[in-house]
Homo-oligomer: A and B are copies of this chain.
Amino acid sequence: MQQKTNPPAADIPMGAEGVPVDETERLIASDKVEGTPVYNLQGESIGSIYNLMIDKRSGQVCYAVMSFGGFLGIGERYHPLPWKMLRYEPRQGGYVVDLTREQLEGAPSYGRDEAPWGDPEYGRSVYGYYRIPFYI
């Protein structure tokens, strides 16, 4: 391997030219999205991205699942959010969603032992709650 004269910071994967290897202007890596903090418009932390649920056939991200609360997974709640709701804000280093705490409390969510999105109607209800056209 060629010796690099300008080593990257340890916590940000960088290419030889100092370009992040897990993101471009257009694309982002799934494992970079996972764990990213989520804030509301007031700058309050409302959770972090737990994982993405992907439509197997089309490869379309159906939801970004935001986790919030709990301790070591116990008591944690999972909020599926339509992908289009996420807007990355570099200054905060996280996603910003236009969602008050009150809206979030009434939003579809589930506990760690539940998997309600196996039901296609659940998907519609999630998109319906956020008034975003269902992805399919």
Binding site for B on A (CB under 8 A): 1, 4, 14-16, 19-22, 24-34, 51-62, 65, 74-75, 83-84, 88, 112-115, 117-118, 120, 135
Q: How many copies does the complex hold?
A: 2
Give the residues in chain B near A88, CB-CB below 8 Å: 56
How far is it, in angstroms, between the C-alpha of A14 and the C-alpha of B112 when the chains are bound?
Answer: 9
Contact status A15-B115, CB under 8 Å: yes
Distance in Å from the Cβ of A111 to the closest Cβ of chain B?
8
Contact status A53-B29, CB under 8 Å: yes
How far is it, in angstroms, between the C-alpha of A51 and the C-alpha of B22 when the chains are bound?
Answer: 9
Contact status B34-A53, CB under 8 Å: no
Task: Pick 5 A–B contacts, CB within 8 A, sort by A.
Answer: A19-B115, A21-B114, A21-B115, A30-B31, A30-B52
